[in-house]
Homo-oligomer: A and B are copies of this chain.
Amino acid sequence: MRGFGMHSVGDIGWIEKERPACGPWDAIVRPTIVAPCSSDTHVSHGGSGPKSELILGHEAVGIVDEVGAAVQEIKPGDLVAVPCVTPDWLAPGVQNNRTFSHDRGMFGSFKFVGIKDGTMAEFCHVNMADANLALIPDGVSPEAALMTVDMVSTGFHGVELAEIGYGETVVVIGIGPVGLMAIAGAALHGAGRIIAVGTRPHAAEVAKAYGATEIISYKEGPIDAQVIELTGGGADKTVMAGGNAETFAQAIRMTRPNGVISNINFFDVMDTFTIPALDWGLGMADKDIRGSFCPGGAVRIQRLLDLIKYGRLDAEKIISHRFHGFDKLPEAFELMDKKASDLIKPIVYMD
């Protein structure tokens, strides 16, 4: 079968591979729409995971093509959302944690790109299909469903991590697709004021549509000083869905005692957070610092699909570019890598 991926670090292109084999609890899915993600471009530049002849992609909706003998719920022909995090449910890490994302060691549940080929291919392999594939319900478009598998789930998780409550003032750093979903998620979790940090005009429009009450930019000065002035002392919670290692100290500074800084941003292997003790109350500020990975499993995605079904969330607003045909994958991927100014999230229809 044909897939799109990396031959080696920095060398991307078409890859020809055997169709993956289906274990007894597994499924083989034929992706119908996929979405490149900045994690994919990150991997292609050598970020993490296997480094050669790797098919990229970890966001997909598709049709189930084959299931193993022990699969009970999922059937060939089912239209499914493929969660980007598909835990090995027999691993001890599943019993240890609530997000199920570290099944065996850190990020162990991140299988696509992490330890095996991804979704940008004619077929992809999904482990433990009954627990890791979500049926797309009536009333939910495949495009919206595609957004739930990583963008919505990760963005909303930043809100859950921050334990945002009714009427709280929240800062969301970053207005890429995950940041936008964090904004939508904050509004959907009872936040009052939502200050978004970003510069791109189109994304800023979408941020407002999702519930941001104001947009600030580092171009107008240090964001921590801006937030402290706007709020008269600091936000209740800060979600980091962008920024760099330096942003960390700013986030801590601009969050009040007993607040939370919740990170859902992927930093670089070479980054170093440098946090002055003073900003963190000499170690005793009661400002929790949390960073977490997208939760795993089908139930999570089914719940997010229900949010769309019942009209709580229009996830398609983050789709900025639509490509038609498998052959457009390189173009979409390059767009993601170069980050055009009007880019939020591209998707590719495989047919």
Contacts and interface: CB of A to CB of B under 8 A. Distances in A.
Interface of A: 24-25, 48, 70, 89-102, 105-107, 128, 130-131, 156, 160, 165-169, 185, 187-194, 211, 213, 233, 240, 245, 256-258, 263-278, 280-293, 297-300, 302-307, 309-310, 312
A192 B277 contact: no
A257 B192 contact: no
Contacts of A273: 273-277, 280
Contacts of A298: 92, 95
A97 B286 contact: yes
Contacts of A280: 267, 273, 291
Nearest to A70: B24
Question: How many monomers of this protein are in the complex?
Answer: 4
Contact of A286 (B131, B257, B270, B292): B292
A285 B264 CA distance: 10
A94 to B, nearest CB: 7
Given A190-B307, A276-B272, A107 B289 contact: no
8 contacts: A24-B70, A96-B256, A98-B258, A99-B286, A190-B312, A191-B312, A272-B276, A286-B290
Given A24-B24, A278-B269, A306-B167, A286 B130 contact: no
A24 to B, nearest CB: 7
B257 A97 contact: yes
B168 A303 contact: yes
Contacts of A302: 167
B263 A102 contact: no
A91 to B, nearest CB: 8
A277 B269 contact: yes
B169 A306 contact: yes
Contacts of A290: 286, 288-289
Contact of A95 (B48, B299, B312): B299
B274 A272 contact: yes
A103 to B, nearest CB: 10
Contacts of A293: 281, 284-286
A271 B302 CA distance: 37
A107 B284 contact: yes
Contacts of A191: 312
A159 B166 CA distance: 10
Contacts of A211: 312
A85 to B, nearest CB: 11
B190 A286 contact: no
A310 to B, nearest CB: 5
A291 B285 contact: yes
Nearest to A100: B95
